[in-house]
Copies of this chain bind each other. A is one copy, B any other.
């Protein structure tokens, strides 16, 4: 059976060139970068090399990169750490309603500690209005956090426009760029942000390593206190194996991004057209144009997304219904709810996220198998009666 992996928003296959760079750190080197001997020195040098590679991907300087263990950790460090460091100026933050769970829940945690959170809504395409974000800012606002793109519906937000509006204010601006960094051009100076989260499992590196960009001069309170690793901003012995991989993957992403997207965007558009042409009562979620290169998120009425996923898997196809972090929770998507999608239509959404390994045959296979799955499920579903 043909195997088609179209869940690159959840995890990407490790590029063999990245694996090759990591292998010596699995099989040969093991020094602790904090140690004062040549084994340690070697590890320290490798981490600093990776820090440069990651910094170069987003137009930052190496000292502005803090390695973490996941995009969720980066988001928590940004939201909780910047807020804690700025608490004496006020206790208010602004976020969007379509943020990743790690931003939403971190904000909720702050709220339980007496902070006020303003959640700015989105339009039917999941687009945030820069004007509304700026209007939500108050004198006691310490932090604004709006994601660069939503990995679920693919909409790319007006980050630079928000940053421009915040420019003369003493408010830190964070963006969750997990879905964009390594996928589309991301430059921290062009975006104008003070903090930016990225994760390497989004660009062909294994899971377990990520980073937070923190603009020089931006104050932060660590989540993990202890040793002096990462400039005292994140204690703990470094995941060298993962960090070496992230560096290598960042360098490849910077070099090949344009070429990758030249291939992926037409595949995305072919899949969108194919699915909308063959399936009744189906609609594209998210912005029609300002969307991630590999994102195909469609809403199929009268069916449960989970049933489609299981049947797609039986046909060799890996897809998702929304964010990987919430898929096993089987909750209705807060992103679709914020877009105003009626509750009864939320559950039938499917996310196909294409990557650099996909091709036209993959796309045509998905188009071919999904139609009959939908027909079959609708014939059995009480929702369709």
Q: Which residues in A have some Cβ–Cβ distance to B below 8 Å? A: 5, 7, 10-14, 16, 19, 22-23, 25-27, 30-32, 34-40, 68-73, 75-76, 100-106, 108-109, 199, 201, 206-209, 221, 223-229, 235-242, 306, 309-310, 312-313, 317-321, 323-329
Contact = CB atoms under 8 A, between A and B. Distances in A.
A30 B237 contact: no
B237 A318 contact: no
A241 B241 CA distance: 10
Given A35-B318, A209-B208, A227 B325 contact: yes
A98 to B, nearest CB: 15
Contact of A237 (B31, B72, B329): B72
A208 B35 contact: no
Given A23-B26, A224-B223, A37 B319 contact: yes
Contacts of A35: 7, 10-11, 318, 320, 324, 327
A226 B32 contact: no
Given A36-B328, A72-B226, A76-B226, A207 B26 contact: no
Contact of A227 (B102, B199, B207): B102
A25 B11 CA distance: 13
B309 A36 contact: yes
A240 B14 CA distance: 13
A347 to B, nearest CB: 13
A21 to B, nearest CB: 11
Contacts of A105: 225-226, 235
Given A25-B206, A109-B225, A69 B72 contact: no
A224 B106 CA distance: 8
